[in-house]
Structure 1
Amino acid sequence: MFLATVAVSCVLAVAMVGSGFAKLLGNAGQSRLMEEVGFPADRMWILGACSVAGGIGLVIGLFWWPLGVVAAVCSLAYFTGALVFHVRSHSTGRSMTGAVVLTVLSAAALALRIASA
């Protein structure tokens, strides 16, 4: 069970840190996505910082399970919020698919982290 926790947490962490740094650096694709879903681009750095922190928390949480649970809960909340923004903006396609996949990964990371505690 712990091996699955490590795999899911690491995949999610890599996605979150990569996406977070893209937001922090003002990546043009991320800016377009923020505009598409109606999130203020000037506040994109907040999402980037939360994403990077969540990814780091997931990795550290492999060694200290309470932090892993908290990081997984926060990532689930983060991506649920992303889904809300996508649905409100009637977004479709790849950006919506990414939000759905990352929400499912977050839920899996949470369930696995709790199960392997």
Structure 2
Amino acid sequence: MFAAYVTVTILASVFTGIAAVTYLIGHDYPKAQADMKRIPRSWVPRLGMVLAAGSLGLLAGFAVPLLGTLAAAGLVLYFVGALIAHLRVGSRQLVGWAVFFTTVVAALVVNLGYH
């Protein structure tokens, strides 16, 4: 179980960390997604900070297990919000969302299972 916990947690942290970097450097993709979902562009850096905090929180969970659990739960809520934003505007482009959501749910499950 320890190997699954470490592997899934690191994978989720890398995925969300890469997404956070694209949001924070001002890449065009997050801006286009914000426009498509009718979210103000001023939210893009804030959403990037939430992703970065979640990514770092997952890693910090190796030292403080409760922090990792809370970070994983927060990321699950983040991606539930992303789904709502997609569905609100009628977007059915959910493959990317599904990959991220599945990864963070798996991180939460192995975290709870291990601890």
Displacement after TM superposition at 1:101 (Å): 1.7
**Percent of residue pairs bearing the same amino acid type:** 29
Is it true that 1:106 corresponds to 2:100 in the alignment? Answer: no
For residues 103 and 18 of structure 2, the distance between their equivalents in structure 1, rounded to whole angstroms, comes to: 15
Measured in 2, the distance between the counterparts of 1:63 and 1:3 equals: 16
Count of residues in Structure 1 that have an aligned counterpart in Structure 2: 115
Residue 112 of structure 2 aligns with an amino acid whose one-letter code is I
Report the Cα offset of residue 92 of structure 1: 2.4
CA distance in 1, matches of 2:6, 2:96: 21
Moved over 4 A (4+): none
Match for 2:86: what amino acid?
H
Query: C-alpha distance in 1, partners of 2:5/2:33?
Result: 30
Instruction: Tell me what 2:37 maps to.
Output: 37
- How many angstroms apart in 2 are the aligned matches of 1:39 and 1:9? 29
2 CA distance for matches of 1:108 and 1:12? 8
Q: Which runs of 5+ in 1 are unaligned?
A: none
Aligned partners of 1:34 and 1:49: how far apart in 2?
15
Q: What's the TM-score, normalizing by structure 2? A: 0.93
Matches within 5 A, 1:65-84: 65-84=65-84
Superposition pairs of residues 2-41 of structure 1, within 5 angstroms:
2-41=2-41
Q: Give how far 1:17 is off.
A: 1.1
Is there any run of 5+ residues in structure 2 with no aligned partner, and where? none
Q: Give the residue type in structure 1 aligned to 2:26.
A: G
- When the two chains are superposed, the root-mean-square deviation of aligned CA atoms in Å is 1.1
- CA-CA distance at 1:86 after TM superposition: 0.8
Q: TM-score, normalised by structure 1?
A: 0.92
